[in-house]
Amino acid sequence: MEKSKVYFTNMKTAANENLLQKLRRLIKTAGISEINFEKNMQPLRFILVNLVTWLFCTQILLK
């Protein structure tokens, strides 16, 4: 079994890139846009749950 690639990010952004652009770049770099979701919906469910959790946690931390 090949090793998994793990990507980390934080909420900090530079003046030339906003949070949405940073998330788009992360999705492209991680290869999420290349997953075939038509055959299996499990990866999509996993990604969405983690994204919602991440957004929820960041809202709590920003308060």
pLDDT, tens only, 2-39:
887 777 777 788 889 888 888 888 878 877 777 666 66
Q: Does 54 fall in a domain?
A: yes
The verdict on residue 33 lying in a domain is: yes
Host domain of residue 43: 19-62
Tokens 């946690």 — which residue? 57
Q: What is the DSSP letter of 16?
A: T
Query: Is residue 7 one of the residues assigned to a domain?
Result: no
In this prediction the pTM is 0.49
Spacing of C-alpha 30 from chain mean position: 8
Instruction: Specify the number of domains making up the chain.
Output: 1
Burial of 10 (0-12, 13-18, 19+ CB in 10 A): exposed
Residue 2, domain member (yes or no): no
Q: Is residue 23 a part of any domain in this protein?
A: yes
Rounded (10°) CA dihedral 52, 13, 27, 44: 0
Residue 63 above 60 pLDDT?
no
In a domain, 45, yes or no: yes
